[in-house]
Amino acid sequence: MNNIQYIKQLSKQYPTINSACTEVINLEAILNLPKGTEHFLSDIHGEYEAFTHVLNNASGVIRRKVDYIFDNSIREHEKSRLAMLIYYPEQILEKVKNEERNLLEWYEITLHRLVLVCREISSKYTRSKVRKALPKDFEYIIEELLHEQQREHNKQEYYDGIINTIIEINRADNFIVAICRVIQRLAIDRLHIIGDIYDRGPGAHIILDKLIEHHLVDIQWGNHDILWMGAAAGSLACIANTIRISARYGNLGTIEEGYGINLLPLATFAMEYYKDDECKNFDFVNSNKDIYSNKEVELIKKIHKAITIIQFKLEGHIIERNPNFNMTNRLLFNNINYVDGIITIDDKEYELTESIFPTIDPKQPYQLTDEEIDIMEKLRLSYENNEKLQKHTRFLFSKGSMYLKFNSNLLFHGCIPMDDKGEFTGIHIDGKNYCGKKLIDKIEILIRDYYFNRHNELNNVDYFWYLWTGSNSPLYGKKKMATFERYFLSDELIKEEVKNYYYYFRDNESICEKILAEFGIYEMGSHIINGHVPVEVKNGESPIKANGKLLVIDGGLSQAYQHITGIAGYTLIYNSYGLLMVAHEKFKSTKEAIKFEKDIVSSYQILEKNNTRIRVKDTDIGKELEEEIKGLNMLLQAYHKGIIKEK
């Protein structure tokens, strides 16, 4: 018999015919269950309040369950309160205690309703899976209530007794919080984050803490994520970029309070060298300015300019030592006439809108001053030794990747770089050209190798920065990142960031099929799911491309993009019935949502609806279970033939 060593190992887990048979029966039954619900989010950009709400309400899945269960049996405001209780149990309980005249009656009604919601949401899972989701304190009680049968009159008093006892012994609040958390967890089987957790909004570190606690999540890195991962790996250029962006959006709190990184040496340096500079081009780009005093605003503007100049110098070093990046055209400091305040780009002269550069030596414009070197070394040590940042980065490596193939869908944040003919393009690495899937796989190997083996001879840290901004980066996908032009030039045309040809070809169904084939996906009904480039809904753009073959779910969850998109984000739901695109209106704040018990206003579009429900056997998990069943059947044959003896 083949695979004898594998079967012998399996026999240790299933030492008897009965135990192996029981597991085969169990796995065969699981294959016929409806597939779990997948939830797709993208481009969160630090907006932790909106993210938390969308996570808590499962993009409307929970409210739709409440509407389905109670239909016309309870009033609309009762449905809204029940849903909000599930999203924010502690906060709504506090409100209820101040408002309800008959709290005991409310507890009894609400507990029964929550049990009904939990029973409906858990109905497509095995008892074993549900049990694992239950909190230890209430595991037995919730399990008993979930399996109550309405027609079992003999047990009705038993179940009512459980509810009444919970209330009588003052455990109702704890029980409500516990069962609400179970509902939240079971509403979504798997969460996909398609990149860009970091930057712009104030709470990326809060989002990562929540994701670490999530029961099943995967992450496809965005270029903003890779920037912070590179900073954690010690890339000076990445570190400078994280500080510059945080200053630009008035969110230095992420660095100082969120991660506890000391920016005082940089602030002192900025105040000294830019004390007489208004730094007029380095103001905030969003409303966070309102939370700072005038003195704080002026200081942040100086920090902003100081770190920007340092960043350009550090990036120049990377470009010079990596000719394969083909980015020498971005060495713009070499093209500045520092006396006249003019820069030459592509043989055309442009007047600089700011020309105060106290730390640049015109003869050696990319040379760091001794003080700049000292500041960046201190920051490097702070980033590399920051326990929380390193914890988040290790999580991003363990749960993340450049792309994911799952249930016949291909998930990636940015693009597959292409030329004007629709052919895959890339860069040379170690003298060999990489493009398409090979490019993505190769760069992921390089950055993983650097992060986990930093003291070896390989110096691959620059690839973090290339992924952030490189013209053929799968995570960026534009000809240039016009950071310099945005700060120092007024000409709008020169600021344009031309997209990779991928973005022109992705509306072509045959090109999408070519990309899927590149990654070994040939199944009917497969999709590419993208983020990165906001969908300009207000200008009529659709998130559905190539006859539904490609879906873009960056609809502006980040406030910084909502003026472009006109909405506040897309999310995607993939359940046993098909695909559902959810478009969200702007979320003001958690405080307002709780105060007015107001959910996010969302609209739904059914993308695909199946005539028969998708079962576990139709999924990637199902394929794994079928392999397990094959192994168990081989083990049973070995037992029956006496090749392996029962223990």
Please give the full DSSP string across 529-560, using - where no structure is assigned.
Answer: EE-SS---GGGT--SEEGGGTEEE--S--SGG
Q: What is the per-residue pLDDT across 228-247, written as a single tens digit (0 to 9) for each? A: 999 999 999 999 999 999 99
CA distances from 190 to 341, 553, 577, 596, 623 (A): 54, 17, 16, 30, 17
Average pLDDT, the chain: 92
**Tens of pLDDT, residues 346-395:** 999 999 999 999 999 999 999 999 999 999 999 999 999 999 999 999 99
Distance CA(393)–CA(229), nearest Å, equals 6
Alpha-carbon span 51 to 49, nearest angstrom: 5
Taking the C-alpha atoms of residue 431 and residue 472, their distance in angstroms, rounded to an integer, is 16
**Minimal CA–CA distance to 576: which of 613, 606, 620?**
613
According to the model, what pLDDT value does residue 151 have?
53
pTM metric for this prediction: 0.94
- What was the pLDDT predicted at 507? 95
Distances in Å between the Cα of 553 and the Cα atoms of 409, 534, 576, 612 are: 14, 8, 20, 26
Per-residue pLDDT tens over the stretch 125-170: 988 899 999 999 999 999 988 886 555 566 777 888 899 999 999 9
Q: What is the pLDDT of residue 610?
A: 87
Residue 86 has pLDDT above 90, yes or no: yes
Can you name the residues that pair with 515 across neighbouring β-strands? none
Tokens of 637: 């044959």
Helices 4-13 and 620-641: crossing angle, nearest 10°?
A: 90
Q: Where are the beta strands (DSSP E) in 289-443?
A: 336-337, 342-345, 348-351, 400-401, 403-406, 409-412, 426-429, 432-435
Q: What is the bridge-based pairing of β-strands 403-406 and 409-412?
A: antiparallel
Q: So what's the pLDDT on residue 561?
A: 65
Q: Give the pLDDT of residue 342.
A: 97
pLDDT of residue 395: 98
For 20-51, write each residue's pLDDT tens digit.
Answer: 999 999 999 999 999 999 999 999 999 999 89
pLDDT given at position 560: 66
The confidence band for 118, taking pLDDT boundaries of 50, 70 and 90, is very high
- 578-584 and 190-193: which strand pairing? unpaired
How far is residue 155 from each of residues 147, 149, 152, 168, 324, measured CA to CA in Å? 11, 8, 6, 20, 74
3-state secondary structure of 429: strand
